[in-house]
Amino acid sequence: MKLLSIRLRPFGATRDRQVVFGDGITVLFGPNEAGKSTLREALRHAVLTSTKLTPAVLRKSVGRWYPAPGGDHASVTLRFEAEGQTWVLEKTWGAGSRSSLAANGGPALQDADGVQQRLAELFHWNRATWEKVLFTGQAELASTTSSLEANADGIDDVRAFLSGPSALPDDIASDKIREALDEQINKHFQRWDMLAYQPEKARGINNPWKVPRTNVCTI
């Protein structure tokens, strides 16, 4: 997947702005209040946040990005490449809420749930990875880096794993490790509502499942 451009129209204090991403790493540099965090949040919500939200969830998530004063919606258009095609994703939250996803100018998928499902397939995401790694903020990045440095002696070197199974101690097959991890990830998220970003049926700490789940990973 490769990001091509994003347009905010409007989003937060940005009335209409387009940013084109070049090849390689794109660096956003500027003083405070230049709109760097706004752009990051627009990208995060474009990828992860459905336009089909309850009023309470909408106010808490995207509602804060309505233009002030008196704005009633936020809108983002994202162009990206995936699976050998160029895709255009359009989302509007609030008044006139809608989702649209189309490839190479073809017919658009406009069901909000369907758009999120297709994005998950195209981006191959686990939401936690996108939230905590790809969209992490400056403060979180500094904290993560400090944590890695503090525990450097206890962190395994992954170069042997990347070199293939023959380089691993005890000749552990990497595909076996991957299968075991995939199995545990699927078990962990099988009762997780990816669209609502919460356990299905509104379960949680205050409303747990009657029979607790126990997962055992064996390799």
In 49-151, which residue ranges form alpha helices assigned H by DSSP?
Answer: 55-61, 112-123, 127-129, 138-150
Return the number of other C-beta atoms located less than 10 Å from residue 87's C-beta.
20
Going from N- to C-terminal start, the domains of the chain cover 2-124, 156-219
Predicted TM-score of the model (pTM):
0.63
CA-to-CA separations, 82 to 124, 188, 214, in angstroms, rounded: 10, 27, 36
CATH 3.40.50.300 matches 2-124? yes
How far apart are alpha carbons 28 and 39 in whole angstroms? 9
Query: By C-alpha distance, which of 38, 90, 98 is closest to 67?
Result: 38
Per-position pLDDT tens, the chain of length 219? 799 999 999 999 999 999 999 888 777 777 887 888 899 899 999 999 999 999 999 999 999 999 988 999 999 999 999 999 999 999 999 999 999 999 998 999 999 999 999 999 998 866 666 666 566 666 666 776 776 677 777 665 655 544 555 555 555 566 677 777 777 777 766 777 766 667 777 776 677 766 555 544 444
